[in-house]
Amino acid sequence: MSKKNNFFLFFIFYFVFYSFAFSDDKAINVLCYHKFSTGQEVTENKKKQDVFSISAELFEQHLKFLKDNGYNVISMKKYLSFLDGVESIPDNSVIITIDDGYKSIYDIAFPLLKKYNFPATIYIYSVFFGGRNNLNENNIKEMAKYGIDIGCHSYTHPILTKRKSSWSDEEYISFLEKEIVKSRIYLESKLKMPLETFAYPYGLYSKDVIYIIKKAGYRAAFSVVSGINTQETSRYSLHRTMIFNSTGIESLKKILNKKPIKVKDIYPADSDVLEDRTPEIRAYFIADTNINTATIKIKLNNKELKDVNYDSLSKKVSCYHKKSLSDGAYVATICAKGLQGGEYEFSWLFVIGKPSDKGLY
**Tens-place pLDDT, residues 310-358:** 999 999 999 998 899 999 999 999 999 999 999 999 999 999 998 888 6
Nearest CA among 221, 354, 208, 210 for reference residue 277: 354
The predicted structure's pLDDT at residue 10: 45
Give Cβ neighbours of residue 202 (< 8 Å, ≥ 6 apart). 159, 224
Q: C-alpha distances in angstroms, 238 versus 3, 56, 162, 270?
A: 45, 27, 20, 11
* One-letter identity of residue 179: E
φ/ψ of 97, rounded to 5, equals: -125, 150
Quote the CA–CA distance of 211 and 4 in Å, as a whole number.
47
Task: Kindly report the pTM of this predicted structure.
Answer: 0.91
Average pLDDT for 195-219: 97
The predicted structure's pLDDT at residue 1: 53
- Is residue 58 very low, low, confident or very high in pLDDT (cuts 50, 70, 90)? very high
Quote the CA–CA distance of 218 and 39 in Å, as a whole number.
38
CB atoms within 10 A of CB 333: 22
- Is residue 7 very low, low, confident or very high in pLDDT (cuts 50, 70, 90)? very low
| pLDDT for 39 beyond 80 | no
Percentage of the residues of the chain whose pLDDT score is greater than 70: 89
| Cα R_g (the chain), whole angstroms | 22
The predicted structure's pLDDT at residue 42: 63
Average pLDDT for 54-59: 97
Residue boundaries of the structural domains of the chain: 3-257, 263-360
| pLDDT for 25 beyond 70 | yes
- Is residue 33 very low, low, confident or very high in pLDDT (cuts 50, 70, 90)? very high
| pLDDT for 145 beyond 90 | yes
Q: C-alpha distances in angstroms, 297 versus 181, 199, 239, 284?
A: 39, 28, 20, 13
| pLDDT for 41 beyond 90 | no
The predicted structure's pLDDT at residue 17: 41
The predicted structure's pLDDT at residue 6: 52
Average pLDDT for 52-70: 97
Average pLDDT over the chain, rounded to an integer: 91
Quote the CA–CA distance of 228 and 31 in Å, as a whole number.
10
Q: What is the pLDDT of residues 147-178, one digit of tens each?
A: 999 999 999 999 999 999 899 999 999 999 99
Average pLDDT for 301-309: 96
Average pLDDT for 84-108: 97
β-strands 220-222, 197-199 pairing: parallel
| pLDDT for 22 beyond 70 | no
Does a cis peptide bond (omega within 30 degrees of 0) precede residue 268? Answer: yes
Answer whether 334's CB lies under 8 Å from 317's CB: yes
Domains 3-257 and 263-360 share a fold: no
| pLDDT for 225 beyond 50 | yes
Quote the CA–CA distance of 333 and 270 in Å, as a whole number.
12
Answer whether 312's CB lies under 8 Å from 293's CB: yes
Q: What is the CATH number of domain 3-257?
A: 3.20.20.370
Q: What is the CATH number of domain 263-360?
A: 2.60.40.1220
The predicted structure's pLDDT at residue 190: 93
The predicted structure's pLDDT at residue 20: 40
